[in-house]
Amino acid sequence: DQQVKQNSPSLSVQEGRISILNCDYTNSMFDYFLWYKKYPAEGPTFLISISSIKDKNEDGRFTVFLNKSAKHLSLHIVPSQPGDSAVYFCAAKAGGYNTDKLIFGTGTRLQVFP
């Protein structure tokens, strides 16, 4: 059972425009969400996170939106740059000590073209 779903395996966006990556989750106990970016032959690197007590978090060109009622979050990249081309993973975790492992989605490959 995939608790974190990224239904779009790939996305292609022109440089300068907005990239929107989507993520859905099923576990209502998730209270913290993260986005990771992964380049080929490298491990994922942390990008941005959001707590369930917020509905928006912004860091430079990256903004994450959380809609708890819809169990949906999205990552907006504005403006998109060629260096943003990578695989983006959505991850979530539930509170508590023994259950705080991160659950990852399957990833969305973003390609930003000139």
Question: Which chain residues interact with other proteins by CB under 8 A?
Answer: 2, 4, 6, 32, 34, 36, 41-46, 49, 89, 91, 93, 97-107
Closer to other proteins by Cβ: residue 79 or 109: 109
Is the four-CA dihedral 61, 62, 68, 71 of positive or negative sign? positive
Query: Among residues 77 and 87, whose Cβ is nearest to other proteins?
Result: 87
DSSP 43: -
- 3-class secondary-structure state, position 80: coil
Q: How far is the CB of 69 from other proteins (least distance, A)?
A: 24
Give residues with Cβ within 8 angstroms of 14, minimum separation 6: 80, 112, 113, 114
The CB-of-4 to other proteins minimum distance in angstroms stands at 7
